[in-house]
Every structure is written in structure tokens, then in C-alpha cells.
Chains A and B, each alone.
Chain A
Amino acid sequence: MASSSTSKYNSHSLENESIKRTSRDGVTRDLSEAIPRLPGETLITDKEVIYICPFNGPIKGRVYITNYRLYLRSLEMDSALILDVPLGVISRIEKMGGATSRGENSYGLDITCKDMRNLRFALKQEGHSRRDMFEILTRYAFPLAHSLPLFAFLNEEKFNVDGWTVYNPVEEYRRQGLPNHHWRITFINKCYELCDTYPALLVVPYRASDDDLRRVATFRSRNRIPVLSWIHPENKTVIVRCSQPLVGMSGKRNKDDEKYLDIIRETNRQISKLTIYDARPSVNAVANKATGGGYESDDVYHNAELFFLDIHNIHVMRESLKKVKDIVYPNVEESHWLSSLESTHWLEHIKLVLTGAIQVADKVSSGKSSVLVHCSDGWDRTAQLTSLAMLMLDSFYRSIEGFEILVQKEWISFGHKFSSRIGHGDKNHTDADRSPIFLQFIDCVWQMSKQFPTAFEFNERFLIIILDHLYSCRFGTFLFNCESARERQQVTERTVSLWSLINSNKEKFKNPFYTKEINRVLYPVASMRHLELWVNYYIRWNPRIKQQQPNPVEQRYMELLALRDEYIKRLEELQLANSTKLSEPPTSPSSPSQMMPHVQTHF
């Protein structure tokens, strides 16, 4: 039975072409030759270990550690297990057992990963092999603590597409029809002086001067002033994002901020109010006043209507995901699966995020009101809400490149703190700044794609590869907290973009059912009846739960597609043959239809 596990583990590995070349027989003399290696990747060490597989028990193997990955191949003839784990995925390395440990396989390392699994290796007690492995792993998994560069800066991969050119803000705003009479592009933040966590290029109301913007910045947390994210192509209502106003306990006011919001409201003449969505639960918004923050009260902002969306903070989300891991890894809670799932609250959070985004999208689309979205700092919940609402409203973002642009724009350029939230190369696994906010967003996208299986150009594999490289540190895409930091580190010059890998291999990430529908607004149903745990991501390490890939309906469709193309080709050939034959008398008609494989399918 164990021999059958190869394909499963391989299929889960992060995308890597070299994996396919890996020989399975295990007799290759030069073993280091057989392990996949990226350009710029160097082998540090290899060791004989026992991998304690939670599903198939202990398996003897050899582990190779490079400056990018941990690679394990089993040495047992009947089990061809392969583990291929980028070191960036590691969140924590612990020693288990001591010098006096007696039990079998009780001495070794326990590695906690950011992608919902743990890896346990048993090592020999004598000869310092554990100490060596622990030190090497710690060094390369947490390079920042050892003044080493992240692997992305050593990666020498070359692709025929440059992912860094995918997002060009000027082009994206032009696609949206900007600038126009009401909105202008400003370079006030060119050197990140106005706001160090915002992008260099911003879209602001035409009627607000750069001086106005500077004054508004003083009243918004971390100077994250309201700027345009998206404009409705027809009714010209907008989605504007920012951070909370600095109202404080004393209920401070700022005339410039009030005026600025009024200018935003006036860009849309269809409705007399500006709608403000505060992503937080109202109690939290009130509590924020104690630390100088707060919300726009309606007795000050007369022309605005404020709603709270009750989405919880990063700490709640982090704990919720921890609970998800508890019920799915290594064993899936069986008898009380549903109530355990409920007690994680994970899907409940997803429901609230989706509900909030639907409200934003609906307000803009049918409510014909401009919308301002913020949470506390405007880089977590705000990014979730604006990007999901944009995904619902604008079919462009549902294409592969469109989605890359959406992520690049709403998340990367607007300063979602990827570095702090993920902890790239950082050993402090208990850091309270870590939180799966981006994962939660991708989960929401997956829920939408599940409800609308024909609306997205990309497939599930696309979402999973994004999440895999969110941690891997192989690409520069998700490194650092904001655009200014990335510029200082010359990320675009010194690293490769994840989109290079994806876009040079696009076919693999395409959804065959995709039907392009311009102007179609997509509202998912945010009900627990339709939300489900993303099994193919959260439980993908469990060979028992593994879903068929690709799913059989998709496979059948691909077969039909191939058949159709073949028939079209044949028909063209026949037409060609006919036109040449026209002058000649028809030859004896054979019965070629018998040669055709007739369509037989159950659907």
C-alpha cells in the first residue's frame, strides 16, 4: 500500500519542473544529481533520517537540505515517498526527545509548517546529527536572524515572461477610464513622503489639491488618506480606501478631512450621501478611540452614512486557523466533524468577509452611492473588502492577469504587511503580527469560484500555487511590507516575480469552463449552506481525503474539447479535399463515419 503513496506526495509538491525528472528507482549513484535544484540553489547537507509519516508510519529516508528546500527521498524499496518542502514554509523547529529518550523514533526534530502540516524526523542519538540538522535548518529557514539573504535574492531562474511588468498602475487606472473630470492621478507620494506604506501613484478627487491631501493625512492613521481603488464604468460611483480617522477620546474633528469626504461624495451626483463601511465590529471601533483612532460619527460627517461590518481582527483570525489545523491535521475529526468545523469559526469569518464585500459591491452597483472602506489601518480587512468587491463587480479581475493585477494593486502596492503577517525568514513564530489575512482572502475567492464555476479564468491550482509561494520565499512578489521597502531593496531588479512562473505556464492554471462575461456582477451566497472548507488546500496532505485531480467532470469536458478541435480540423481537411476534388467526379464513397469515435458520455 505504501508504494502507492508516491504520486500523492509528488502531486502536492510545489510546482517545479525538475520534479518530473526525478528518478524513482533510487539506484542512481550520484544522489545529489537526482534532487531537484533551482538555479542559484546549493546543497548544504544531507542526512539519513527516519521520516515519521503521520499516515503511513516511519519511513527511512535521506534528507537533503539546500539553501531553498528540504528534500526527502525514502530509502525503502517498497515506498517511493518524496517530500519537497521549501524552507520558507517552516514556522518553527523543535527538538523532540533527549539524550536519555528510550522509545523508538522518539529522538529527533518536529517541524511546524505554515501550510497546515508538521514534519517529524527521527535521528540517531549519537554523532550530533540532530544538532547539525537543527542548526542548518534554523539558519536557512530563518535567514533574517542570521544576516543571510532570503532565497529570492539568490534565485537565478529565468522565465520567458517578466511578471514584474504585469502591473502598471497608470495602465490599470487608464483601463478604468482614469483620470477623468472628477479624478486625477497624483505623484505627491512619489518618494513616499506623504505616506510610507502607500504606493507612489495615487488617484484622488480632482478638486482636492496636494496641500489638502497633506492636511487630510494628519488626521488619518499612518497617513493613509482616502484614495480611489475602483470606479464604476457606468454610474461613476467609486470605492475609496483609507485608514481610520484619528478621532480619539476627545472626539477630535478635522475640517479638511470632512471637506475631503464631501468632495469625494460630490464626484457622484446620483445620491446625496457617501457610504462608509467600517470593517470592524462597532465595539472595536469605539474601543479604538482610546488609542487615538475611531470612526466618522454622523453628527460630524453629515453627508455620510456609516455601517460596521463586524469583521474581527488579525488575532481572532490567527486563532481560528489554528483551530482548523487542529481538526484536520494529521487526522480529520470524524464523528463530530461538523460541530468541530463550526467551533473553529473559520467559515463564519469567511461568511462575514464575503457579506461585507457584497454590501460594498451592491452599494456601488445598485445603490449608486460611492463607498469609503476602512478598518483600523486599512491594510488587512480593508484590502479584503475592496479586492473582493472589485472581483464581484469587474469581470476583468476574474481573468488570470486581471487577478494578478488585483493582488498586485490592492494588496502588494497598498501595503498589506506580507512580511509581518507571514514572517518571511523570521524565526519568531509567536509574533502577534502574524495572521492569515491573505489566505482568508484567497479562501473567499475559492468560495466564489466554487459557487460560480464558469466565471473565473483560473482554476484551483492557480490559487494554491499563489498560497504556496506566499511562504516559499522563492519569488520576490510577496516579500516586504510595502512598496517603499520593496523599492529600497530593489526587489523588481533582484528577484523573480511569481507571475513569471505562472504566466509562462498559463495553460496549467486555466479553468476549462471559463465563460467570459463582461459586466456581469457576481454575488456569492454568503450562507453556511454553501460555504465549505477548502479540502483540497487545508487537508491536502492527508492521502485519505485527497480529491480526484482534475475532477472527473472537468476531465470529461477537456476530452470533449479535444474531440471538438479534432473534428473541426477534420472538417477543414474535408473541405479542402472537397474543393480540390470539385472538378473531378466523386470517388467511391467509403464509409468514413465508421472510423469516427462516436460520442459516448454519460452526461
Chain B
Amino acid sequence: MLGKGVVGGGGGTKAPKPSFVSYVRPEEIHTNEKEVTEKEVTLHLLPGEQLLCEASTVLKYVQEDSCQHGVYGRLVCTDFKIAFLGDDESALDNDETQFKNKVIGENDITLHCVDQIYGVFDEKKKTLFGQLKKYPEKLIIHCKDLRVFHFCLRYTKEEEVKRIVSGIIHHTQAPKLLKRLFLFSYATATQNNTAADPKNHTVMFDTLKDWCWELERTKGNMKYKAVSVNEGYKVCERLPAYFVVPTPLAEEDVQRFQGHGIPIWCWSCHNGSALLKMSALPKEQDDGILQIQKSFLDGIYKTIHRPPYEIVKTEDLSGNFLSLQEIQTAYSKFKQLFLIDNSTEFWDTDIKWFSLLESSSWLDIIRRCLKKAIEITECMEAQNMNILLLEENASDLCCLISSLVQVMMDPHCRTRIGFQSLVQKEWVMGGHCFLDRCNHLRQSDKEEVPVFQLFLDCVWQLVHQHPPAFEFTETYLTVLSDSLYIPIFSTFFFNSPHQKDTNVHQRQLSLPLTQSKSSPKRGFFREETDHLIKNLLGKRISKLINSSDELQDNFREFYDSWHSKPTDYHGLLLPHIEGPEIRVWAQRYLRWIPEAQILGGGTVATMSKLLEMMEEVQSLQEKIDERHHSQEDPQAEPPCLLRNSARLSSLFPFALLQRHSSKPILPTSGWKALGDEEDLAKREDEFVDLGDV
């Protein structure tokens, strides 16, 4: 597919000039004509954003009260987004403008947010990619934030159909160069206001000072030191410029294998035990080199085993724990459950909902991650052990598990700033390959694995189970998950700090960036490396790893005893991981499905009550303060008008009110066979002999 994807019609290089040709409306369109002529909905472009192609008289399907109706408008594609400009936008504008995404409108889809595109040809749905021979009458776009758009092109001019369809396919599906990311055009256009907001205290971990601060905060500075050996990425491009290692570790050791095989500090617990991570040494066939590697690792282990260091337990994350392949497969099944085309599909899948959920394994993977994090927490908290996480690159499951452990053990990570700093420390500086894992450049579907999404989902479980322990709500997490696909923020658009630094600085030079495609194709399966690690460390590991029974007992006891005590929201926080406790993150996954909307209900109903009460208490507080200061009578002022507590939908703040009437939504599917209960079903409620009537 690579290279062949450039379509003549709407290729990125020869984008058609913006043309605002007014269109002829077909007879069958019944809209208020006065409105049509007067209102030309304008396209809002961001600084640096360019219109690439467009089509008019496109019909967008809107579902309302289990029947679909259409809205006419223009479908445009820019170098940032696909946008639909509906003719009745005004109605929406008046509606709920109180909460609105400032960057992405209701009908905007950033190019990176597009997941799959389908075309409908004679009622048949087909995946669209590459060059098309025939153009569809309907376009269905599945988004990575799980929105589904239906656009009917039947009334659009053939030429425009060709242009918009091939344009959209090209700009969203074809492989891209890093330098083509909208990020860069946006940054150029808004250069002067890229400076960091002084109020923002998120620690970026891009200076030695930041790491020292973190060491001090966690009291890890006795045994660990921040090093600048990788300044300018001299040693390794996968590591950040500054990081933290055990104090006695020599800097030459870091350089020896380009930072591989080095225990890198993540976090220190109040009792002195620490969480460390290590990437594997390069695979070697040669016995001599293997021998060298072995003695090197032995040396490293000796260093970190010597007092004052705690006993180290190695946790091999590339072993039997969880593979990236599993995560990928599970999520692709799981997301399909929410990408629903219509009401019929919703109710058809409703009957089998629980088994469909289970067969995706997504919730089970969440459970396994949480369980692993609890096990590690137990070792650190109860057994005073150091934990060394091992993974080939130490940049996928290492990021996930280490940040989960910190969210559970360190209340600072449950504040907004603390959480952002954690993401910055473990994920961005930890070299998680966001570019590849999100497949932002569409270069390899195989590398696309929602590891960060999995992390957010695990954190959501904790937020859902213990809301008072977090400064942020689930909505914060949902918005954060959306920002993965908005190429305005650079946070989630690079594979490593090195890649970011080189590109942001050298961008002006327009260097060919093809080589920056991070790593050569590498599978997820790392059985070989896995063995390697085990072989090299075999003895020590076997000494340290408890027998699995004992491990289970420790885990059970720790878990049960924590849950039997009242929760201290400012202390250690553990999730419940039993079957009924791991749930679907409804806000993120169900928010665009009108059938799943509870009008005037859901958790938002209690949340808004809570907010109202807070406002009331605050205003009372102010009044009391005021009274103390000036002795005038505050009764004169009108009673504080609280937020209009209009009924919000359970989908708030994401979906606008999609149902305006109070009609209930009724399941359309029937009853599933009862199987072995068929006999019972046929029985009478009571044996009644009505024969004599």
C-alpha cells in the first residue's frame, strides 16, 4: 500500500484551491429556503490549517428517536481535520455552548482520529483504502474516539465525490512522513504563544533539576542520583537526556551498552524501596559476547544488591504477563462493540452483550494489569523490596505498570498536576512510542497498540471505585484520551524525547525524516530476548522469585486486609479486581450512542447536584466573610442564581442532547432461546383447572 496511496484526485501535494461554489439543491431537500440562502456556514481554520478539498450537498445522518434523518451541508477535508458544515448549525450553537471542546467541533474529525473508512456500494459495506475504481454512495467513518459518521453522497456532484472521498482516504490512510504532521504547521503559525503557561506546574522532566526535585520529593536522593551522561543523546536515543540511576553506578556502565541493562529509577516509596526499570541487552549469538553481557549484568546486580539497597525482585514484563499482541487483539474486538452503525445493531448486540464483552478480553486485561500492580505494591509496601521491571525496550508495559503502581502508592499522582507529571515522566520521557503505538503516521498497523489507552482505562477503574481519592474526574481522563489524536499538542506525537528534540529543532532545515521512523520492524514477540534475560539472570531470579503459591497467599492477604479497612484516600489505594468490579468505562465508550443515553440520569445527575451544593456553600461562605468585613446588609443582593440545573443527559458533556423528545427507547430485538429451561418456560404459573368454567 505504501506509495501507491497517492490518489490523483486529492493528493496532499496538489490540494485543490479552496472553492466556495454554491451548489444546486435537489428538489427533494426540504429545508427552510430562506435560511439556506442567508447562512453560509464558515469553516473555522486553526492557525496554519489549510483546506484541501471539499464537497457540497452532502447529507449527514443524524439518529433521533430510533429513526434517522439527514442534515445537508458541506464536507471538507483540511490538513488537520475532516469537518462537516451542516446547514442548521445555528440551532446547535444556541444550545449547549457552556461546555464545548474548543478545538474539535461536534462534526470535526481530526485526521489522526479516523480509524476505518467504509463505503456503501449498493447496500454493501466495504472498507475503503488505496485508489478507488468506483465511488461509494455513502461514506461511513469510524473514529478512534468511537464516533461513527454516516455521510450520504448521493446528491453530491460526481466530481466532488471523487475529490472528497479520495482526499479523505489519502490523508487519513496513506503513510505519512513525520514532518507532514499538522503539529509543525500549527507550531510555525503560532510560534509566539508556545511558551509554557507559568501557572502550569506539570513537571516535564526535561532538566536535571526536575529529576532532582522528584528524587527529593520521594526521598530517593539517598540512594539514587540524577545523571546527565545522556545529554544531547550521546549515549542513547531511546533514553531521555537526564534520568536517575543508583548512586554507586558508574557512568561508563551506562555507556557500555547504550543504556541497556541499566537499572533506571522510576520512583521511591516512603519506606525506601524503589521501583526500577531496565531494558534488555541486545540479542547476541556469539558466546563470547554473551559472556561479556553476563558478567556486565552480574556486576550491575552486585551493585544494586549491596546494602543499603533492599532486596531486588525482578519482574519480567515481556514474559508470561501480557503481550502487546494480546492488547491489540483485545482492543480491536472491544472497540467494535461501540462502533455501532444503527439502532438495530445496538439492540441485536444487546442480548449477547456480556459474552461479547468477555470474548474481547479487554476487561480481563485490565484486571491482569491491576493485579500485577497490586502484586508489585505488596512487595514494595509490605516486604520492603525493590522492584526491577524488565522489558525489551522498557517503554510499553514498563510505562504502564510503573505508572499504575505510582498512582496506587503515591497520592501526589492522584492530583491533576501530579498525574500529568507522571505521564510526562513515565510515558513521554520513558520513551513510549506514541507515534507508532497510535499509528499516527499510518506506517504500520502492526505496531498500533493502545497501551496508553489501557493505562487510562486502568486508572479509570480506580477513579470509578474511589472518586474522592482523585483530584480529577473521569471526564478529565476521557478528554485526555481524546487528545491522543489531536495533533496540536506535541505530547503524544513522538516516539522519544530524542525524536521530539531533533524534529522540533531541525524542522526548519527540512531534513528528510524518513530515517527517524523509530525502530526497524520488530515484532512484539520477544521470546528470544525473554530467554536471554532469564538465562543471564537465571540463578538470581530463581533465588528471589517466591514460589507462586506463596506469592498468591501474600497477595491475597495484602489485598483482603487492605479492603477490610476503611479507605484512606490520601494513602495507599488498591482497586477491587473481582469480576463484577471491573467495569466498562461508559463515559468514554458509550458517549456517542444515542440508545445508551439516559435522559436526566447517570452519574452526571449526582455530580451536578454536588456542584450546585458546592457553589451554594461557597457563596454562603463569601457572604459570611463579607459580613464580617463590611457590616452592610447582604440581603439586598438577589439570591445567587445557581447554574441552570436543566436536565443533563448521561452523555454530558460529550454529546449534545440527541434526543429532544421524551420518548423512551425501546429494545427492538426479541428474546433469546432459553435452552435447557424450555420445559419450565412452557409450564403454567399455577396448575389451574379451569375446565369447569
* A contacts, CB < 8 Å to B: 1, 4-5, 8, 218, 221, 246, 248, 281, 283-284, 287-288, 291-293, 310, 312-316, 319-320, 332-342, 345, 347-348, 351-352, 355, 358-359, 361-362, 366, 375-377, 380, 433, 451-455, 513, 515, 520-521, 523-530, 532-533, 535, 539, 543-546, 548, 552-557, 560-561, 563-564, 567-568, 570-571, 574-575, 578, 581, 586, 589-593, 596, 598-599, 601-603
Contacts and interface: CB of A to CB of B under 8 A. Distances in A.
Contact of B693 (A218, A345, A452): A218
B613 interface: yes
Contacts of A557: 606, 609-610, 613
B577 to A, nearest CB: 9
B578 A556 contact: no
Contacts of B563: 543-544, 546
A520 to B, nearest CB: 8
Nearest to A318: B680
Contact of B664 (A333, A362, A433): A362
Contacts of B598: 451-452, 524-525, 530
Nearest to B679: A315
Contacts of A283: 682
A603 B683 contact: no
A515 B606 CA distance: 10
A29 to B, nearest CB: 31
B490 interface: no
Contact of B610 (A218, A221, A366, A560): A560
Given A523-B662, A526-B667, A599 B621 contact: yes
**4 pairs of A and B residues whose beta carbons are closest in the complex:** A337-B579, A292-B690, A523-B664, A528-B353
Interface in B557-606: 557, 560-561, 563-565, 567, 569, 576, 578-581, 584, 586, 590, 595-603, 605-606
A525 B595 contact: yes
A533 B614 contact: no
B607 interface: yes
A361 B616 CA distance: 36
B523 interface: no
Given A545-B580, A552-B466, A596 B621 contact: yes
9 contacts: A316-B677, A316-B680, A339-B359, A345-B674, A358-B666, A376-B685, A527-B346, A527-B665, A570-B624
B7 interface: no
B282 interface: no
A283 B565 CA distance: 53
Given A454-B605, A525-B596, A602-B470, A221 B681 contact: no
A256 B148 CA distance: 55
A567 B620 CA distance: 6
B629 interface: yes
A405 to B, nearest CB: 24
Given A316-B681, A529-B596, A599-B621, A221 B601 contact: no
Contacts of A599: 614, 617-618, 621
A520 B453 CA distance: 39
Given A454-B609, A593-B625, 19 more contacts: A8-B564, A218-B693, A287-B682, A291-B684, A291-B688, A292-B690, A313-B683, A316-B677, A316-B681, A320-B677, A338-B354, A338-B363, A348-B671, A453-B603, A529-B590, A543-B560, A571-B623, A593-B628, A603-B614
Nearest to A358: B664
A525 B616 CA distance: 32
B26 interface: no
Contact of B684 (A376, A581, A590): A376
Contacts of B470: 602
B123 interface: no
B686 interface: yes
A451 B605 CA distance: 9
B665 A525 contact: yes
A545 B576 contact: yes
A315 B631 CA distance: 72
Interface in B339-373: 346-347, 350-355, 357-359, 363-364
A583 B630 CA distance: 15
A291 B613 CA distance: 60
B596 A527 contact: yes
Contacts of B521: none
B663 A366 contact: yes
B287 interface: no
A79 B359 CA distance: 41
Contacts of B115: none
B564 to A, nearest CB: 4
B672 interface: yes
Contacts of B550: none
